[in-house]
Amino acid sequence: MKKIIFSISLAFISLFASAQNDVNLILNHQFNGTSFVYNDVYADESGNAVSFDRIQIYMSGIELTHDGGQTTDLTGVYVLTHANVSNYPLGNFDVSNVENINFNLGVDYNANHGNSSNWSFTHPLSPQSPLMDWGWPSGYFFIVLDGKIDDNGDGVPNKMFQLRSLGDQMLRNVDVDVNSSNNGTVDISLDVNVEGWIKNLNLATVGFDHSSSSNNTTVCNNTNTYNVFGNHINSIGEINTKHYISVDYSMTYAPILNYTLEKTNNKLLITDINGKVIVEENNIGFEGSYFIKQELKSGIYFAIFTNNKETITEKFVVQR
């Protein structure tokens, strides 16, 4: 009888060892240990000043090892990241504690050879602004690194570069042991060490490279060679205190505003130089990328994010 009771107890414990929880991926972008911010100036491995105005990647084929060695495939989950956004909800799963995350940097073969217009507009694989694909059947950009490099030694990044990895051969598998936290939501926190992606590259000569070239192959290989992704140890209770707005001029007639703020429920106003309100949006989240859904005339504009604690203003210029 005791053996029967013991067996039933083990089965009961096993049944409830994990539970349905929302799982959230947190990406902490940094450059040589410093919190990463668009348009801030950093130094590459040769000491050249470098800045970035756009970093995005696709993640697919996500598998979680959790609760003592169980595995769960997050089938059909795709993540499109932005370097100024940290939080990415993955969904609700029978998971309580995550020990390892395995994923592909890029998009799997079937999705990569599908038509982006077949996806709903809210899906990461749908057409994006700015573009994250070359259209069917060319496929998606797996990694996008856009920025400027100092090519004349004056310490100011001035020469533009674009590295956008394209092609099935760019897919890389990433495996990271993690220490998740569970405060009602299971949080998986990873560091993203941006400097690793640009190792062994001369950014002054890469130009605008949207392909499966040797430069983009180097970027993809660097993902694992230099451990771009790593477990973020001190994630519980951390607060990102650096708030900013930056402007992505990929589409000069309708720039994209990348922002990180302290509070949610922000109001956004876009005004012209005379103070005329061109755009007004309420309930803007605390981080993200805002695409201005109208073509603006040439001129100077101001983006104003405000809430009951702070107001942050960024000037931007439209040239057509």
User: Is the confidence at residue 173, as pLDDT, over 80?
Assistant: yes
Tens digit of each residue's pLDDT (9 = 90 or more) over 279-293 = 999 888 888 888 887
Is pLDDT of 262 > 70?
yes
Residue 5 has pLDDT above 60, yes or no: no
Q: What is the pLDDT of residue 308?
A: 78
Spell out the alpha helix ranges (H) of 103-239: 109-112, 203-206, 214-225
Average of pLDDT values for 185-211?
97
Most confident option among 99-113, 130-144, 222-236: 99-113
65-69, 185-189, 228-232, 307-311: least confident range:
307-311
Q: How confident is the prediction for the chain on average, in pLDDT?
A: 88
- What distances in angstroms separate CA 224 from CA 30, 57, 175, 216, one per listed residue? 16, 15, 9, 14
pLDDT for position 242: 61
In whole angstroms, give the CA distance from residue 48 to residue 66: 42
Confidence of residue 48 (pLDDT cuts 50, 70, 90): very high
Peptide bond before residue 127 is cis, with ω within 30 degrees of 0: no
Residue 239 has pLDDT above 50, yes or no: no
Residue 236 has pLDDT above 60, yes or no: no
Terminal-to-terminal C-alpha distance of the chain: 83
pLDDT of 55 reads 97
Determine the topology of domain 244-318 in CATH. Answer: Immunoglobulin-like (2.60.40)
pLDDT at 148 > cutoff 80: yes
Residue that wins the pLDDT comparison between 162 and 314: 162
Identify the residue with better confidence: 253 or 283.
283
**Span 295-315, average pLDDT:** 86
Q: How many CA atoms lie within 13 A of 154 on its CB side?
A: 5
pTM across the whole model: 0.81
Name the residue ranges covered by the structural domains of the chain: 18-231, 244-318
pLDDT (mean) for 182-195: 94
Which positions ≥6 away from 17 have C-beta within 8 Å? 67, 68, 96
